[in-house]
Amino acid sequence: MSAGDFETIRIERPVEHLGTIVLDRPDAMNSINTRMLEELEGALERLEASEDVRAVMMRGSGNRAFSAGADVQSSGAMDHREGVEHSRLGQRVFGGFRRTDLPVVAAIDGYCLGGGLELSMCADIRVASEDAEFGLPEHELGLLPGWGGTQRLQRLIGESAAKQIVFTADRFSADRMHELGYLYAVFDAEAFDEAALEVASDIAAGPPIAQRYTKRAMRMGWEQIDSGLELEAQAFGHLLDTEDLAAGITAFVTDDEPAFEGK
């Protein structure tokens, strides 16, 4: 996939040895659709193939959102089989940022919700603007985080804190996510772009061979999560067949409170 093929993202090279992937759907709060998933995978492969790239930064276009998540209404139109495959696709694409030997920095400004938060979970280092807002709203819709969130978040901040974020579907400030250890640093909003670039630039200027082997070693020591990811995908597909999901999506569109009946 060449740069000209990208419609929902763009690749930038702001400084030497750093490749930046920009989620570029600002009018849609950089929400993640199937096209973007495919392009994220292609962009990472392109940066991995470049001998000059030693680190990757992910960020959203504009300052309203890193990503507000997935397209809820399109997800609701899927059947069970499509839901399972869609979950597996997101898990694989996002997992690529964990599997790559290149260190990955997520620069988070504005909303980082749902699938956007799940994408940021796969970065090695996360920094945020003081205006950033985090959350997993899937339970408000009768869904669950289906792109790795049920497995990865608890490994990053612990089971108790992860369950609070998932089950409450609340919004959390950048300061709170920093307290939980999710973020490396929180920067002043006006200075955020420069500060985030400095962090990523420092990583890109590091020893590439040592960084590559360090990431491999740490990844190998990571607890096995494949079984949990498969259960997550199957559950995501199952939930697409429920009346609760239809109620959740209707309430989302009409800005009402959902009434879940367990059906």
How many angstroms separate the CA atoms of 257 and 40, rounded? Answer: 34
Closest CA to 12 of 174, 147, 196: 196
How many other β-carbons are positioned within 10 Å of the β-carbon of residue 206?
14
Q: Which of 38, 41, 45, 138 is catalytic?
A: 138
Known catalytic residue at 118: yes
Q: 233: which residues sit within 8 A by CB, 6+ positions away?
A: 84, 87, 88, 91, 146
Listing DSSP states for 39-89 in one string gives: HHHHHHHHHHH-TT--EEEEEESSSSEEE--B-HHHHHT--HHHHHHHHHH
Q: Which of 39, 118, 133, 140 is catalytic?
A: 118
64: phi > 0 → left, psi -120 to 50 → alpha, else beta; which? alpha
How many angstroms separate the CA atoms of 26 and 41, rounded? Answer: 20
Catalytically annotated residues: 118, 138
